[in-house]
Amino acid sequence: MSPLSNIRTCAIAFVIATASIGAAAAEAVLEIKHPWSRASTGLSRPGVAYLEISNSGTSAVELVGVKTSLAGMTMLHKTETDANGVARMSHADDIVIEPGATVVLEPGGLHVMLMNLKDNLIEGENYPATLVFSDGQEISVDVSVLGVGATGPDTYKHSH
């Protein structure tokens, strides 16, 4: 190999390495806070899960699904209220978390439906779930089960 070939090979390798480092730097850095569910009223009714997702990274990412052995199927849902004040739930597209933003899944808004429950959600217990994101990240969380009428972790703590 001639010295010129070595220089070209090194230059190409440097460009590829630099591009790889640049791509790795543009990523979502996610933090999950306050995962919780309400206690269920039986296996015939779906459960629901709520949480906060913060992205301190430099690129947007989408929550594309949730996995848990507690439910036969999970779905991302949203609650929408029409002009007459009637609320209804519908399937939500993937949930985008922009850089520097926090998305809250909460009662009356975005949430995770837990369909075909395999076990009851019992107040005071926890269950594992895994959040699946568009960039391939999978983040496991421990979901706390609060009372049937809970509106969130903070309000629940103050009412008991």
CA 109 to chain centre: 14
Q: Quick: pLDDT tens for 24-44.
A: 446 889 999 999 999 998 888
What letters, b where the CB count within 10 A reaches 16 and e where it falls short, cover 107-120? eeebbbbbeebeee
Percent of the chain with pLDDT over 70: 80
Q: How far apart are CA 69 and CA 140, in angstroms?
A: 12
Residue 13 clears pLDDT 50, i.e. is over it: no
| Residues paired with residue 140 on neighbouring β-strands, in sequence order | 130
Q: By the 8 A CB rule, do 144 and 154 touch?
A: no
Q: What does pLDDT average to over the chain?
A: 83
CA 26 to chain centre: 19
Task: Band the pLDDT of 126: cuts 50, 70, 90.
Answer: very high
Q: By the 8 A CB rule, do 72 and 116 touch?
A: yes
- For residues 139-158, give the mean pLDDT: 82
What's the pTM value of the predicted model, to 2 decimals?
Answer: 0.77
- Strand duo 71-81 + 87-91: pairing: antiparallel
